[in-house]
Amino acid sequence: MLILENLKAATTASSLATGFPVRPTANEPEELARQVEDAHRQREALRLEMMWSPDDADLRTQLALATERLSELRRQLSLRDPGFAEWVDASDVQLSDVAEFHRRLSSLGPATQLLGLFATPGTLWTYLASTQQTLLSSHPTAELGDLQAFDETNLARLAASLLQPFAAELERMEPDDRLLVSPDFGFFHVPFAALPLAGEPLCARVTLSFIQGAGVLEAVLGRGRPGYSRLLALGGPKRADWPDLPGARAEAERIRELFPDPGPALVGRTATVPALAASLEDADVLHMACHGASAGPADEQARLLLAPDLRRGDSGVLSEDRILAELDLSPGSLVNLAGCSTALQRRESGPLLGGLVPAFLVAGAGSVLAAVRPIADGEATTFQEGFYRRLLAGSGPADSLAACQRACLRGELGTEMADVGAWAFYVLYGIG
């Protein structure tokens, strides 16, 4: 089990531990640094053109080539970064000592357990690990049902494979006990919170948080937990090529009102990438209510769609590489990606994970709250307000998420919030 967990997202884990070598350093060759800056400007110009001509096939091809060139130039710079050797050394899989892994688990509470998934052709392996034992089970993937449908029947079928083999151990857990879920590819979109266990949704029985393998757990645990009191809220960026989000702007302002000493709110046309980067220094909570997009054929990265800054030639497209290269997050901070399907992740070449969640974790976050499916604006704002009220009362992110989900189940946030689509699709990655 520990070998499988260490192989998951090993390069992502090393990047969390040592930093990803994409930022400028004082030792860079001047000409190569200039080429990177020129390539970045070229890509931003093409992204701006794509705003006005999204169906232009020639522009799409140029953008793909520009993105590829920028990635290659940054790779060349990274080879000259003194930190690169340290990063490469950390990328070699170093299997955690079993005793050390148990210590990490118990640091989250004596009853903490890890539920892991590992997919092979035709078979899904699942395991439940605690400081006392590790249990293993396997299932033909044909028995899992429709992994895109989450009605009551399909949730029960999926729970029969993922949870039932370990039902006795899971049912002994208390609601405040932590269950770490380590998914594999093909399962990042599953709403584990809604899987039934002993007649209740899983989130009613345990406190959930998610990791991408044991290495990510170890790296994130080393960042500590800040006070979660200094908010930077961003909402409803104005873009000509995407529908307006007045509800997201209202959400950002409403969340800001909950904090006793909030930072600025970046909304509408002020919600640009340069403004975000310049405002991060003191924030230990970053709330981003905006459009998100999955990796596409012209720009093979997931991205958040912020407002363009035409004076600076900035497209407003906050892609994974820009998160890594341009955002200085406070170590251990909470990032709340309050957009549709922001938790989706994909396999990259090698053991590196692609997606917004891994990018923000590598950039310094200790926890990332995101959604595995689209959520309606009104329900999202109600849920987010409930989450932050609990966070500001002193609970950690994972406990706040669990408490808010249970409040929805009990109808305390309104009858409409008891629907599974209002609460089940939120997931928290990191230690919480």
Domain extent for 51: 22-80
Residue 341 lies in a domain: yes
pLDDT value at position 16? 56
In a domain, 89, yes or no: no
**pLDDT at position 80:** 58
Q: Do 284 and 198 belong to one domain?
A: no
Residue 15 domain-assigned (yes or no): no
Is residue 17 one of the residues assigned to a domain? no
In a domain, 349, yes or no: yes
Mark whether 262 and 410 lie in a shared domain.
yes
User: Running along the chain, 432 residues long, what does each successive block of 10 average in pLDDT?
Assistant: 57 55 56 78 82 83 85 69 42 56 86 92 92 92 83 93 96 97 88 96 97 77 84 96 94 95 92 96 94 69 93 93 90 92 68 76 91 88 97 96 98 95 94 80
pLDDT of residue 420: 93
What pLDDT shows up at residue 237? 97
Q: Which of 188, 220, 252 is the last residue of a domain?
A: 220
The verdict on 141 and 244 lying in the same domain is no
Residue at which a domain ends, from 220, 251, 274: 220
CB 186 within 8 A of CB 145: no
Under DSSP, is residue 261 helix (H, G, I), strand (E, B) or coil?
coil
In-domain check, residue 16: no
Same domain, 105 and 50: no
Domain boundary among 80, 107, 129: 80
Q: How far apart are CA 180 and CA 339, in angstroms?
A: 23
What pTM was estimated for this model as a whole?
A: 0.84
Looking at the structure, tell me whether residues 257 and 363 fall in a common domain.
yes
**In 3D, which of 430, 341, 334, 431 has the Cα closest to residue 380?**
341
Helix/strand/coil (H/E/C) assignment for every residue in 102-159: HHHHHCCCCCCEEEEEEEECCEEEEEEECCCCEEEEEEEHHHHCCCCCCCHHHHHHHH
* Residue 327: CATH number of its domain: 3.40.50.1460
For residue 88, what pLDDT is reported? 36
Residue 117 counted as domain residue: yes
143 exposure class (CB count in 10 Å sphere: 0-12, 13-18, 19+) = exposed
- Give me the phi and psi of 356, to 5 degrees please: -70, -40
Are 298 and 391 members of one domain?
A: yes
- Claim to verify: residue 60 and residue 102 sit in the same structural domain: no
Q: Residue 147: what pLDDT?
A: 80
Please check whether residues 336 and 425 belong to one and the same domain.
Answer: yes
- Identify the three-state secondary structure at position 180: strand
Residue 163 lies in a domain: yes
At residue 389, the pLDDT reads 97
Structural domains counted in the chain: 3
Query: Do 237 and 359 sit in the same domain of this protein?
Result: yes
pLDDT at 2: 54
pLDDT at 275: 97
**392-422: string of b/e by CB count within 10 Å (b at 16+)?**
beebbbbbbbbbbbbbbbeeebeeebeebbb
d(CA 264, CA 144): 46
pLDDT at 337 (0 to 100):
96
Same domain, 131 and 111: yes
152 and 243 both lie in a single domain: no
Identify the CA nearest to 367 among candidates 341, 330, 404, 324: 330
Residues 275 and 172 in one domain: no
Closest residue by Cα to residue 226 from 285, 274, 275, 172: 285
